[in-house]
Each structure stands twice: as structure tokens, then as C-alpha cells.
Chain A
Amino acid sequence: MGRPAPATREAVHPVAQQSEQSSATPTTGTDRVKRGMAEQLKGGVIMDVVTPEQAKIAEDAGAVAVMALERVPADIRAQGGIARMSDPDMIEGIIGAVSIPVMAKARIGHFVEAQVLQALGVDYIDESEVLTPADEAHHIAKSGFTVPFVCGATDLGEALRRISEGAAMIRSKGEAGTGNVVEATRHMRSIRAGIKALGTLDETELFVAAKELRAPVDLVREVARLGKLPVVLFTAGGIATPADAAMMMQLGAEGVFVGSGIFKSGDPALRAAAIVQATTFSDDPDVIAKVSRGLGEPMVGINVSTLPDSERYATRGW
């Protein structure tokens, strides 16, 4: 990704030319390896799991990865208390149970939880507002890690600040654990509108845009030129049905995280497979109708507008 492909076979090959980047000995932890990993997940569904048994159900349903966490967001909401990184034993159990990538959540700013997760061999870390933040001012400096990070964002400026810290993948925040897709919709539309707006600006105006977005001007220029984020954009937060997933894809998501929506529903295996199929065929209403039949009870939802501000996860992080 990144560089445009040469127009003809005779054209120079940009990568082959940059020999200083092309080490003869294998190099790990590069931006391209981190961002490229997320490129492989596109068009797929990443599912929250709390046990190896759930991870196996997710893999069998066609998940592209699983997200290991201590409690799904709906339970964190119901039970309260401080939500932290999972028990290492549980993470290792999940890694051992499946062959697909395993992600795990660290608290915002908790760089030691991130160090532990890297040492355990997780494939991606979600620096997540669903857990209780560990730092009220700073996110983790992510560039220094070998393991890649995904971070949540509510708008373009927040997405670019996370990328400047080293995030190799962005997801909408949504309002996790509610089964209500309204906040994810708001965030996807906001990020998309922000990207479109940059495309209409000239070079001079991009400086002001960078100031207003509170993001580095180089990243702002790159988004204006590409017409998209320089990393993969997924959606997350409140997705509970195949139609929710398909709607997010049509709004520009490149893939879907599903949290409580699967294992808080009546038939997790069936619902998980249905959401996977609806994500691949998000533009085909006949397929979505077919896979939406007979799924049993969806998770019980929460009306986001009745949530007090102190219980809103999307306002965590900045």
C-alpha cells in the first residue's frame, strides 16, 4: 500500500529503487508490516471472545480474527468496576485454541499492559476506550512496539492523532455494549465527511485544516491526496445484526468488529456466521435477507440517549 503502482511494466519500480529500505536481512515491526496485517483483515469480521470455547465458535463461523477480553462490553456496563487487560492464562488459552489472529485489549495509556500483551504474542493490540482508561492525558506511544495497534476514533482528527502515535488500524468507537448502532453510524459518517472535506481544499487551506483537526499536516496532506485514511478503517460499537454490519460497510467501513452482539444473543454460532456473510455481501440485499432469517433473539439493546455521560465510552480518549 502507500505508493502508487507504476503505470507500465517499463516504469521504474519505486520499491526496488529504494534500496535503503530493502534490507537483505529480514526486518520486523515496520509500518508496512503493521498496516499490511490490517489490510489482510479487510472485508472480515473480528469477534469479541472471553474464553477459548468462544474463540473456536468464532473461528468456525468465519471470523478473520478474535479479540480477547476479560468481559464483553455489555457485562462491563452491567457489572461496573475497573475493566482491565485479560488474564494472561486466558489469552494464552485463546491463542492455543485458534489458528486465526488473536487481538487483545489494553487500557488507554497503559503501556505496560501493552508490553505484556506483546510478550504474550498477541497479533494486534486494541488500545480501547471500552476498558477503564489508565491515563487521562496520554495515549500509548505505539510506534516503538513491534506488535501493531488499532485505536478507536469518533472523527477524522482523532483518527489522525492516533495514527501519528503509531496506530496501524482505526475503528469507529460507537457505543460498545449497547447493541445500538447509532453512535457507530455517527462516527463513520463523521470520519467520511472529514475525508471528503479535505479533498476540496488547496495546499494553503490544508495548513488551517491541520490546525483545526489538531493533526500533523503531513498526515492531513496524505489523506487529502489518497481520499482515504492511510490505514485500514473498521467499524465497531453496537453492531448486533447482519444488517447493521452491512450498513457500516456501505458507509465506508472496510470491516467490522462485533463485541457483545454475538455472545449476548440467543444463537451465537448462527448469528456470527450470518454477520460474516452479510459483511462480504454487504451490497446484496437478497443475501442479507436470507442470512437474517431465524437467528433467534438479538442482544437486548440500550437506548444511548438515556445513558448518562459518565457511562459513555466514546468520550474516553481525545
Chain B
Amino acid sequence: MTAPVIGVLALQGDVREHLAALRAQGAEPVPVRRPEELAAVDGLVVPGGESTTMVKLADRFGLLEPLRAAVRRGLPAYGSCAGMILLADRVLDAPADQQTIGGLDVTVRRNAFGRQIDSFESRVELAGVPGGPLHAVFIRAPWVEQAGPAVEVLGRVVGGPADGKIVAVRQGRLVATSFHPELTGDTRVHALFVDLVRAARDADPDGADLGADDGGTQP
């Protein structure tokens, strides 16, 4: 079985760290900035960064609609921090015209924990991730304010002023975390996502072209 090809949306953000974590878990990681690059992947990571910047660049370079179409067709995707915001259907505390890729039936609040001086590290238990709690790094992080019935809550903050807030979710082939596992060297969340991509590829006879646009309308 060949390694799954997993793209990392490379418009802005901590792309390099996700590429390294995916490689460590046996995937073949590739940066994605163009529709034809998206068309060649089995799964996609939306990294940490500035969600407003990423979505504007995706829109200007004709990538936003192909991203939405790919997620609708069942392309597995994992978003960390800004990536969680971009995979959410609804966003609070964002500029009025902020668009997202969407797909996760959740309402996410941007910068929910506060400003950078409130950014923190903490332990988080994650359902489906063996080996004990993760050491999680939250940087101007969002949280999930409300999750639809099809959304599985994987983890919540323990202790502190934000005790109990939802910070990790899964819905079908979409996974999102408020925190940045790519910054810690602990690649268990990436392992979970690589397994999910392998399972999705095995389930779809067409395999590798979930990122591809049906109509071949790439610019």
C-alpha cells in the first residue's frame, strides 16, 4: 500500500510543522496553493495561521470554491486553530464578511480565550487518541461554542477560566482542534488523521481524486 498523499494548505501559517508531523506518521505530505495541487491529494490539513489572511488568499487565487467542493465530496480534512475556523460552518467574532470552507456543523468563536497574553499550554484528554493526555498549545485560539448533533466532541479544556470548553471535534471525515499539536513534536493527532485518510481511501474505489473537481473547471 502506498503512502497516502496529504496536502497542507500553504497560503500562510505553520505549514512546515504540519508537513514534518505528517511525514513522521508515514504520509507523503505536499504543500497546496493551487487547485491542481488540491486535485492530487487524498486528504488535506488546514494549518494554524491567520484565518482572515488564508481565506482572502484562497478566494483571490480561485482555491476557495474547489476547497468547498472537495470537502463536500468527502475529502478528509484536519484543521488546527485557524484551520478549525476555516472548516466551521459558522464563525463568531470575525470580520462581517469572513468566509469559510465549512463542512463542520459547528459555531466557532475566534480568539475565544483572549489575546496573546492569554495564550497557554495545558493537558487535554482526547477521545480516540491513546497514550494519555496531550500537551496542548493554545495560541489566540478559538473554541467550539455550539456543535450540531452529528458532531462528536473529542476533547475539552480542563481547569482554568475556560474549563469545559470544547477544543477538539470530529464529524465524519473532518477533524479539528483549537490547539496546535504540530508545535509539540507529539504526532498522535496526525496519526489519527493519517489513519482516517487511509480508511477513506480504502472505502472510495476512485481513491486519490477526492481533491479533484468533478467538472474539470480549474483555472
Are B14 and A39 neighbours in the complex by a CB distance under 8 Å? yes
Interface check B177, CB cutoff 8 A: no
Interface check B95, CB cutoff 8 A: yes
| B-side contacts of A122, CB under 8 Å | 115-116
- The size of the chain B interface, using a CB distance under 8 A, is 62
Interface check B105, CB cutoff 8 A: no
| B-side contacts of A26, CB under 8 Å | 120-122, 138, 157, 159-160, 162
What 1/0 flags go to B173-213 for Cβ under 8 Å of A?
00000001001111110010000000000000000000000
Stretch in A40-48, A192-200, A202-210 with 4+ CB within 8 Å of B: A40-48
Whole-angstrom distance between the alpha carbons of A146 and B57 in the complex? 32
Stretch in A10-18, A172-180, A263-271 with 4+ CB within 8 Å of B: A10-18
Interface check A99, CB cutoff 8 A: yes
| B-side contacts of A280, CB under 8 Å | 11-12, 33, 57
- The size of the chain A interface, using a CB distance under 8 A, is 57
What 1/0 flags go to B37-71 for Cβ under 8 Å of A?
00000000000111011001100110000000000
Q: Contacts A146-B117, A147-B117 given; indicate if A32 touches B137 (C-beta within 8 A).
A: yes
Interface check A276, CB cutoff 8 A: yes
| B-side contacts of A16, CB under 8 Å | 131-135, 186
Interface check A293, CB cutoff 8 A: no
Q: Contacts A15-B185, A16-B132, A22-B133 given; indicate if A62 touches B159 (C-beta within 8 A).
A: no
Whole-angstrom distance between the alpha carbons of A96 and B16 in the complex? 32
Q: Which of A6, A99, A100, A277 contacts B57 (CB 8 A)?
A: A277
Are A33 and B122 neighbours in the complex by a CB distance under 8 Å? no
**Residue among A3, A5, A13, A60 with most chain B CB within 10 A:** A5
Whole-angstrom distance between the alpha carbons of A148 and B13 in the complex? 18
Are A28 and B191 neighbours in the complex by a CB distance under 8 Å? no
Interface check A306, CB cutoff 8 A: no
Which residues from 81 to 135 on chain A have a C-beta closer than 8 Å to any C-beta of chain B? 99-101, 118, 121-124
Are B12 and A44 neighbours in the complex by a CB distance under 8 Å? yes
Q: Which of A3, A24, A39, A44 contacts B185 (CB 8 A)?
A: A3
CB-nearest residue of chain B relative to A44? B12
What 1/0 flags go to A43-86 for Cβ under 8 Å of B?
11000000000000001111111000000000000000000000
CB-nearest residue of chain A relative to B95? A99
Q: Within the complex, what minimum Cβ distance (angstroms) separates A13 from chain B?
A: 5
Q: Within the complex, what minimum Cβ distance (angstroms) separates B89 from chain A?
A: 19
Interface check B127, CB cutoff 8 A: no
| A-side contacts of B160, CB under 8 Å | 25-26
Are A23 and B121 neighbours in the complex by a CB distance under 8 Å? yes
| B-side contacts of A23, CB under 8 Å | 121-123
CB-nearest residue of chain B relative to A43? B12
CB-nearest residue of chain A relative to B188? A13
CB-nearest residue of chain A relative to B59? A62
Whole-angstrom distance between the alpha carbons of A12 and B52 in the complex? 36
Are B119 and A5 neighbours in the complex by a CB distance under 8 Å? no
| A-side contacts of B111, CB under 8 Å | 99
A contact residues vs B (CB 8 Å cutoff): 1-9, 13-16, 18, 21-30, 32-33, 36-37, 39-44, 59-65, 99-101, 118, 121-124, 146-148, 273, 276-277, 280-281
Q: List 7 A-B contacts (CB under 8 A).
A: A24-B158, A25-B122, A39-B48, A63-B53, A64-B53, A121-B115, A148-B116
